[in-house]
Amino acid sequence: MKSDPKLKVDFAGHALQNPVFTASGTCGYADELADFMDVHTLGGFITKSISLEPRKGNPIPRVVETPAGMLNAIGLANMGIERFTTEKLPILKTMAKSGVAIYVNIVGTSVDDYVAVAEQLAPCPGITGFELNISCPNVKKGGISFGTDPAAIEDITSRVKGASGDKTLMVKLTPTVSDITVTARAAVDGGADALSLINTYTAMVIDIETRKPVLGNRTGGLSGPAVKPLAVYLVNRVYQEVTCKTQVPILGLGGICTGDDAMEFIIAGATAVSVGTASFMEPDSCQRVIDGMGDYCRRHNIANISELTGSLG
Q: What are the catalytic residues?
A: 136
In the chain the beta strands, taken as DSSP E runs, fall at 9-11, 14-16, 20-22, 44-46, 63-66, 69-72, 101-106, 129-133, 168-172, 194-197, 201-203, 206-207, 212-213, 220-223, 250-253, 272-275
Name which of 284, 223, 225 is nearest 260 in CA terms: 225
Radius of gyration (C-alpha) of the chain in whole angstroms:
18
Angle of CA points 188, 170, 51, to nearest 5°:
125
Question: Residue 49 and residue 298: Cα distance in Å, rounded?
Answer: 36
Q: What is the DSSP letter of 213?
A: E
Question: Residue 312 and residue 233: Cα distance in Å, rounded?
Answer: 11
Question: Residue 182 and residue 212: Cα distance in Å, rounded?
Answer: 36
